[in-house]
Amino acid sequence: MSVGGQRAEVVRGGLLLMLAKLVHTIAGFGLFFFLSAILDWSMGGAGIAAFGIYGTALVVINPLNMMFAQGTLQLVSQMVASHPDDPGGVFRACARMQLPLVLAFVVLFQLAVPAIARHGLNDPAYETILRVGGAIPIFYALRCLYQGYCNGTRRFREQSWIDMGSSILRMALVLTGAALGYGALGALLGFVAASFVMMVVAMLWIRPARGGATAALDLTQLLLFQGKVLAVTLVTFYLMSLDQLAVKALADSDPDIADRLAGYYTGNLKIAQIPWSIISALVWVLFPLVAASAQDPARQRATLRQGFRLVLLLMAPVCVVLGSTAHETYALVFHGNAARALTEFGDPLSVVSGPLQVLAPGYFVYGLLIVATMLITAQGRAGTSLLIMSLTLVLGLVFTRSLVESHGPVGAAAGSAAAWTLGLVAASIVLARRFGAFVPGASVVRIALACGALWLVSIALPGEGLMLLAKDSLLGLVYLAVILLTREVTPAEIREIMLAARAGRAAQ
């Protein structure tokens, strides 16, 4: 395939999965927006603490969910893309290994729950909600076997529909559980139910091709590779959890106050994660393409350069906007929490929405780190990715726990951002040694110039409440104008994207 064809495939596949990730982001963001409002309406001031309990329980459980979701998807996608002659056989080989691994991890998690609640969170009351949420990884893992098969065979449409269905159903059932009056526990029970239903849907809809035993596939090597992939994914998602866990465990010795601080922090996290949630779709398009072009370094290099450029173009401006409007954005999205924080509890803005000023640029760095390590894994170097992410995790644990004690929730955010930055430096060195300059230097300069202009306009232009939406729209136009004027994006590229989008719709 030519570089032009490769580029069109990246764009077309990315548009399909970005639609799913857009739905995922809107539904996920809507879930927390409405959940906060429902808990505030039904529980009053205690709703902020309940919001924090739900958010904290998720950051404990979600790394396990994602370990089997993205780890399984990544493994099956890589193996299927690397063995196009027998995708069904590869799928079944992966499936035979998956269930025992999932069950083993779930049992270990259940055994560890008391220690996690008492020593990790300094609050034994979390034991029940963690045990309930421990069922979710089973359903995630089995569903993502089928999504990985879709990704590896480039059936992006089916993968996208499963993603969208999961996001919408999860939002509906989580909110239903909370609205019925069961608080954080009811919300998590809704999550469990949605995960089970979508697992059944994937099993009934996606029918992998019948294949043989895939003689060329070494099951021992497959098991070793999967172990590395699962470990990388687990470490990756605990990197997103360390700061909130530190806030809950160490920001205050009173469990109720710590839950309230965790409630504020949950809102900051959800806002800061929006850009990464959208752009992560591009990773799942790049991953099988990098794996499939293992014998063609020039093709791999072209794919990497285009992919990283798109990440910078799309993610950087959103992070700048969120960081420069942190207090206004939090007050608009989580109005009930912000109002009660100031009037009922007297909590300052530095505690309520201050972390977002650090988390917004921090998640830009985190996004680049994850793209880099996943593409290192796609080259068959999962061990290298695991080493980088493990060292980053250790640094994050040290930084967040030390800084939260001296600077509160903002310190926890700064600790995570510092660890992610050092991890990105290490991953960039690995990629640069293999591919040279994997991000065009001129693009970095032009995008940085556009983001600088965006920051200056944002600081100079006031906007609160609903006027913030108008301000954000204007900032988007400013960014578009700068990247067009500097020719970072050309009219020809825009036409190419439009043609790829039309081709994607026609293929459906």
- Per-position DSSP letters for 275-313, written without gaps between them: HHHHHHHHHHHHHHHHHHTTT-HHHHHHHHHHHHHHHHH
Provide the 8-state DSSP code for 466. Answer: T
Residues of the chain with pLDDT under 70: 1-15, 17, 211-223, 225-226, 278-300, 303, 378, 435-438, 496-508
Total length of the chain: 508
Please give the pLDDT value at position 19. Answer: 77
321 part of a folded domain: yes
Taking the whole predicted model, whether its pTM rises above 0.85 is answered as no
130 part of a folded domain: yes
255 part of a folded domain: yes
The two three-digit tokens of residue 71, written as one number: 């780890």
Q: Which residues are CB-contacts of 395 (< 8 A; sequence separation ≥ 6)?
A: 418, 419, 422, 423
Provide the 8-state DSSP code for 116. Answer: I
Please give the pLDDT value at position 442. Answer: 84
Please give the pLDDT value at position 410. Answer: 95
pLDDT digits (tens, 9 = 90+) for 118-129: 999 999 999 999
Sign of the dihedral through C-alpha 116, 118, 123, 128 = positive
Other Cβ atoms within 10 Å of 221 Cβ, number: 9
Look at the chain and report how many structural domains it folds into. Answer: 1
What's the burial of 213, exposed, middle or buried (CB within 10 Å: 0-12/13-18/19+)? Answer: exposed
314 part of a folded domain: yes
Residue entry with tokens 């600088």: 452
21 part of a folded domain: yes
| Among 96, 86, 88, CA closest to 209 | 88
479 part of a folded domain: yes
Q: How far apart are CA 96 and CA 338, in angstroms?
A: 49
Domain extent, residue 235, equals 7-507
C-beta of residue 288 within 8 angstroms of C-beta of residue 241 = no
Q: Which residues are CB-contacts of 477 (< 8 A; sequence separation ≥ 6)?
A: none
22 part of a folded domain: yes
What phi and psi values does residue 251 have, to the nearest 5 degrees? -70, -25
C-beta of residue 87 within 8 angstroms of C-beta of residue 80 = yes
C-beta of residue 12 within 8 angstroms of C-beta of residue 6 = no
Q: Which residues are CB-contacts of 507 (< 8 A; sequence separation ≥ 6)?
A: 12, 157
53 part of a folded domain: yes
